[in-house]
Amino acid sequence: MSSSSLSYILMTLLVFTIILGFFAILNIFFGHTVDKKKTELSNKAECKKVARAHKRRLRTDYFWSNHMRFTWITFFLLFFIALGFSIAHEVTILLSLMLAQITYYFFKFARRSYLEFPAKAAERLKKFETEIEAAVEAEICFDADNIQRFSSTDKEFDTKPELFSFPTNITKIQFPPYETRPPKQPIIATRKLEYLVLSREYFSICKGASTFNLLDPARAPVPKKCVELPGKAGECQEYYYSQIRNVFYDDADESIHITYNDDELEDIRFPCKKMAANRKDAMKALKGKLRLTERQKLRKIAEHDKYEKILSRRNSDEENKDDKPSK
């Protein structure tokens, strides 16, 4: 075989290899683009399903979140029923009878939705805030606490944290219809919780938790299929009982006021409405922790005093022993 023909064959193989590599790269690129587009379209389709399900829930479970829906639908149904009977034609009377039957089922649905609305709203609120409490407990982690690990069943050690939640940013739905007094409105539309968590040696103040929104809950972005976001704990700051001088409730700004022994440390103010159901319980528990810390301090002082007396007596005995003349 001549050298020219060999060169021709090698050149042909090289060109063929380059073309195959080019098509392989194109296939990988377009395959990745197609897969990405399919995933994007799938996520958008899931988001549309979620949006439709949410709208359906607003029109069924939360129908009474806007009582004017019932008013307008009832008005139009009764108007067209009356119009059909007033025309007094066979067709219009038949249509009016059909509308009357639809009206009956609508009233039946509206009554059931009215009775179930408070319970369903309360269930959603409880589920969301239970998730937040679990997140707060996870944030205030006790896994590295030896007493928690080995003495969790010992009643002498209060290793289980005490959680006190205080609601802020509350808005309510006007339900029952035309009820304008917030205390008489049982259904919460939005609410945010702040937590006071008492553990054995320290307490934590947790702020920035997720806000509950009954009618428009926070959702994940499109790449995560617009699922409803669970409750999150926010940020928790720890403070130690041993540094606290006093704790009291400040009526002026409606907050729990905590003062420190060290003047360089800034006092803590935890917003808490005077009418909050668990305000007194939180104050009682916090003061109880301070009393326990004070008793532990006094016990340590007494133990140290006993140790000093024993040490002094021992030193005195050794001095007397040295002063005795040897026989």
Residue 267's SS3 state is: coil
Question: Is 228 part of any domain?
Answer: yes
**pLDDT of residue 301 exceeding 80:** no
Neighbours of 311 (CB within 10 A): 10
Query: Would you say residue 192 lies in a domain?
Result: yes
Strand partners, 195: 165, 206
Are the CB atoms for 206 and 139 separated by under 8 Å?
Answer: yes
Q: Indicate the pLDDT class of residue 215, thresholds 50, 70 and 90.
A: very high
Q: What confidence tens digit (pLDDT) does each residue in 96-131 have?
A: 999 999 999 999 999 999 999 999 999 999 999 999
Q: CB under 8 Å to 124, separation ≥6 — which residues?
A: 214
33 in a structural domain: no
Residue entry with tokens 């996520």: 43
pLDDT band, very low/low/confident/very high, at 311 (cuts 50, 70, 90): confident
Q: How confident is residue 147, by pLDDT bands cut at 50, 70 and 90?
A: very low
Q: Please, which pLDDT band fits residue 289 given cuts at 50, 70 and 90?
A: confident
Query: Does a structural domain hold residue 96?
Result: no
- Residue 287 domain flag: yes
Residues contacting residue 286 through CB under 8 Å, at least 6 positions apart: 196, 198, 203, 247, 256, 258
What is the count of structural domains for the chain? 1
Confirm whether 265 is domain-assigned.
yes
Measure the CA dihedral 55/61/67/70, to 10°.
90
Q: Is a pLDDT exceeding 80 seen at residue 322?
A: no
pLDDT tens digits, one per residue of 185-214: 889 999 999 888 888 778 888 888 899 999
The range of the structural domain enclosing residue 161 comes to 121-306
Average pLDDT over residues 220-235: 87
CA distance 239 to 233: 17
> Per mean pLDDT, which range of 85-94, 154-163, 247-256 is the poorest?
154-163
Confidence of residue 3 (pLDDT cuts 50, 70, 90): low
Q: In what order do the strands lie in the sheet with 255-260?
A: 244-250, 255-260, 268-271
Q: What is the pLDDT of residues 229-250, one digit of tens each?
A: 888 888 888 888 877 888 888 8
Q: What is the CATH number of the domain that holds 240?
A: 2.30.29.30
